[in-house]
Structure 1
Amino acid sequence: MPDPTRDAAFSLLHAVLAKGKPLDAALDALTRIEARDKAAAHRLAACVLRHTGTLDAVLEPYLRREPPPELRNILRMGAAGFLFLGTPPHAAVGTAVDLTRSRKLAPFAGLVNAVLRKVVNAGPVVLEELDMPRLDTPAWAWTSWGQNARAIATAHAQEAWLDISTLPGFTPETGEPLPTGGYRYPVGTPVADIPGFNEGKVWVQDAAAALPVKLLAPQPGERVLDLCAAPGGKTCQLAAMGAEVTAVERDKARMATLRSNLERLRLRAELITADGASWKPATPFSAILLDAPCSATGTARRHPELLHLRKARDIDAMTAQQDTLLDAAAAMLAPGGRLVYAVCSLQPQEGSTRIDAACARLGLKRDPLPLPALPEAVTDRGDIRTHPGLWPERGGMDGFFIARLVHA
């Protein structure tokens, strides 16, 4: 029998692993499928992407030769369903065999049946023998994360909880209040079910993503520049705090999303579609937020395809762009003003290394950041470094690097 969930999950994995597409984009391309099946397919595909190394290690003893990529993904899906998602053994095997036949891989149906039956017979205990965090993390990423690598990789095995920010004066009736502000909801909570969402009182924003604006500390009526502003969570924060916000974003589609978010929350900002690296304001700003484009490795819990799509060599291109934007931001900063630089990256080249270079090149200096609600995130140089391994008892947080700069 056709299984729309498995068919869709197979298509998602092919789009990500063979074509290099982001998982969300591949998911949006699935149009002829029920919402329930689409959500289940996303969950299965994300589980495979989260645990690819572990799944391959489980399968390896039962494969005499390398299977075609399509077949390997079917085997991964069957094993992932049984080992991680609670799929009954007969269903994990049967749906994988059916999918093999439906994808014109019928000659391999016996192999799929035999291999997955062996996985089922071995049982979940096989996972206890494996170093899952290490297996599921590319070597280049593991090495770059240093002493935090195991904590980060362990956290990546779990889906991220749902965090929200609220308009001033609004307190939702549910959700766990967070020490840094905002509220947290369990994995899988529908956004529309959060009190205040439909009324335009809250927006989705990870606890770590909410920190850069709080550390910029805009004052009511202060002119603030938000560079690279889309999709707009930080723009909304700035506007909600009473700042006079100018938001610059070069991508028209992303600017449309930003505008929509502001309208839903009934907040106002000046929106400028332009490249932040070349746009020039009429007068400098006393406060600038630069949430720079980056590798986004700090969001791998939410986007498990990232560690498959990113390569170590990609970081150099990112850092060149970040330097260009830091140069532009420094030129727009008024004397005595402050600049907060942030990236949702775990890579040191995109964090402290960029700030060291900017200070040497631009005549800026660090303005150390206090964070009493999360002191373990403050580095010895006064920057902020969050990662998914922090707050393990609360469900972790995204990885961010944040630094505040002023003229020397």
Structure 2
Amino acid sequence: MNSRLSKKSGQPGPKETDRPEKPGFAARKVAADILGNVVHKKRPLDGELEAGSGHSGFRALAGNDRSLVRAIIGAALRHRGEITEILDRLLDRPIPEKTGRILDILHVAIAQMLFLDVPDRAAVSLAVDHAGLDRRARPYKGLVNGVLRRLGREKEEITSDIDAEKVNTPDWLWDSWQDAYGAEGARAIARSHQSEAALDLTVKSDPENWADKLEGRVVGNGSVRLVRKGAVDSLDGFEEGSWWVQDAAAALPARLLGDIQGLRVADLCAAPGGKTAQLAAAGAHVTAVDISKGRLRRLEENMTRLGFDVETIVSDLREFEPDDPFDAVLLDAPCSATGTIRRHPDVAWIKSPYDVEKLTEIQRDLLDRVLPWVKPGGLIVYCTCSLEPAEGEGQVAAFLQRHAEYIRLIPIGSDEIGGLHQCVTGEGYLRCLPSHAADPTAESIGMDGFFAARFRRS
């Protein structure tokens, strides 16, 4: 007997694909699709979630469903190692390749069941529906149902002994951090990645006043850290251009140039423009250079909102040549961005040792290239948002050795960065870790991982 015949009429019943979608189904489907694009195709999450050019399914969702997608993907990426370990324990054998989105569907469902406030029955039901609508995944619909229901029954037994910090960190990163920061340091970094990053603002003036207005607190070297979450553009002071979003650690390198009132300063690899705004607010005549026309356009929009007049140039720095040397240069070099995993959890799963190797070559070339762009006596600040020593301490040591007759290191003091002594190394470098306190009282923990070094051209 045809299984699709109606029991009452004997006529063909509706196909599974003809049934109306359950509430929330579209969001889960998009979440699984984007998760797969990130972890399998190595597409940056920011690009997938871009409002104008990102994933078409995401752009078609209502605002509340977009927020749900962001939450699901964030949890699935932060806890990817745990979820993988859980599936290994629940499955008798690995799921074969070419089974559609089965693994992504399971990861999305488990992220909801364990790390979001979603009832198990809803997560299971929607995952089973999704598997049934995917042609290649359909044969595993029963497996999805069985695995997730078992997890719902045996959560404590299955998850209690998992070393979350270790398994949620790719092996190459764990080894790199242990070598650089010790076993406890690596674990502290990994622990900090399990929670979302705070929302920090850099204000034009009077951070204490803005902290009171926005119900936040002052951290770092004058950043305002918000406690409550919400749409950034709805906060007081946004329309007036009184502040801009910038992590407390990312706000430190620009301050290392000191008093730049009236000086010509280049911000290289400038987008999205937080440091550009800092330099302009300090009274410098800023030239912002970036290779991406689209990212530089957004920088220009931000500068317009903030009321800053900045020269912008679209160019690859390996081809750019300034008309005259600058008084100071800030080079925020392309890097692996492993210091931003709290904020961008996809970085842990789309970057590799090969990326670090190629990026260190680019950083070396850019450092050598920008040296002549600074007047004798002028300052260069080199920075990256990477935790990898090859992109920080190692890069700087080699630069100093290559150009010993032209530059000297100007050590950084903790008094220049709001008393954050734990962020200053013995060599005088800035080295912020995600596990560091964002204020000297240690009441506010967490900031982006950042490295910076300062040189003066002889």
TM-score range, shorter chain: over 0.9
Q: Deviations over 1:216-253 (max 9, x none)?
A: 22421111111111111100110011111111122211
Match of 2:423 among 352, 360, 377: 377
**233 and 179 in structure 1: CA distance in 2 versus 1, 3 angstrom threshold:** closer
349-358 or 10-19: bigger deviation: 10-19
What SS does structure 2 have at the residue aligned with 1:339?
strand
Residues 124 and 285 (structure 1), Cα distance of their counterparts in 2 relative to 1, 3 Å cut: farther
Query: Greater shift after overlay, 26-35 or 232-241?
Result: 26-35
Question: 1:295–1:315: 8 Å Cα contact kept in structure 2?
Answer: yes
Question: What residue identity is the alignment partner of 1:381?
Answer: E
Q: Does residue 204 of structure 2 align to residue 167 of structure 1?
A: yes
1:12 and 2:66 aligned: no
Q: Aligned partner of 1:405: which letter?
A: F
CA contact (8 A) 2:249 2:450 kept: yes
Residues 66-215 of structure 1 correspond to what in structure 2 (within 5 A)? 66-67=94-95, 68=99, 70-104=101-135, 105-124=137-156, 126-146=158-178, 147=182, 148-169=185-206, 171-172=209-210, 173-174=213-214, 175-186=216-227, 188-215=229-256
SS of 1:334 mapped into structure 2: strand
What runs of 5+ residues in structure 1 fail to find an aligned partner? none
Q: Determine which structure has more spread, i.e. the larger CA radius of gyration.
A: 2
Q: Secondary structure in 1 aligned to 2:88?
A: helix
Q: Distance in 2 between matches of 1:44 and 1:81?
A: 7
Per the TM alignment, residue 187 of structure 1 is displaced from its structure 2 partner at its CA by 6.7
Q: Does 1:57 align with 2:79?
A: no
Residue 39 of structure 1 and its aligned partner are, at CA, apart by: 1.3
Is 1:288 the counterpart of 2:329? The answer is yes
Q: TM-score, normalised by structure 1?
A: 0.96
Cα distance in 2 between the residues matched to 1:85 and 1:124: 16
Q: Distance in 1 between matches of 2:372 and 2:318?
A: 10
The corresponding residue for 2:10 is: none
2:297 counterpart of 1:297: no
Q: Cα RMSD over matched residues?
A: 1.6
Once the two structures are TM-superposed, the CA of residue 349 in structure 1 deviates from its matched residue by 0.4
Letter in 1 for 2:436: L
Q: Is the counterpart of residue 42 in structure 1 residue 70 in structure 2?
A: yes
Q: Decide which of 411, 431, 439 is 1:368's aligned counterpart.
A: 411
How far did 1:193 drift?
Answer: 3.1
- TM-score (norm. length: structure 2): 0.86
Q: What is the CA deviation profile of residues 136-170 of structure 1, one whole-angstrom value per residue up to 9, with x for unaligned ones? A: 11111111112221111111111111001111357
Tell me how many residue pairs correspond in the alignment.
408
Q: Secondary structure at the match of 2:353?
A: coil
Listed as ranges, the gaps of 5+ residues in structure 2 are 1-20
2:351 paired with 1:310: yes
* CA displacement at 1:304 relative to structure 2: 0.9
- C-alpha distance in 1, partners of 2:229/2:349? 24
C-alpha spacing 1:74/1:276, structure 2 compared with 1 (3 Å): same
Distance 2:107 2:143 in 1: 13
The Cα shift of 1:284 comes to 1.8
Matched-pair identity in %: 39
Counterpart CA distance in 2 for 1:246 and 1:118 is: 59
| Distance in 2 separating the partners of 1:40 and 1:116 | 20
Looking at structure 1, the residues matched to 154 and 443 of structure 2 have their Cα atoms a distance apart, in angstroms, of: 31
**Range with greater deviation from structure 2 (251-260 or 132-141):** 251-260
| CA apart distance, 1:351 | 0.2
CA distance in 1, matches of 2:448, 2:259: 23
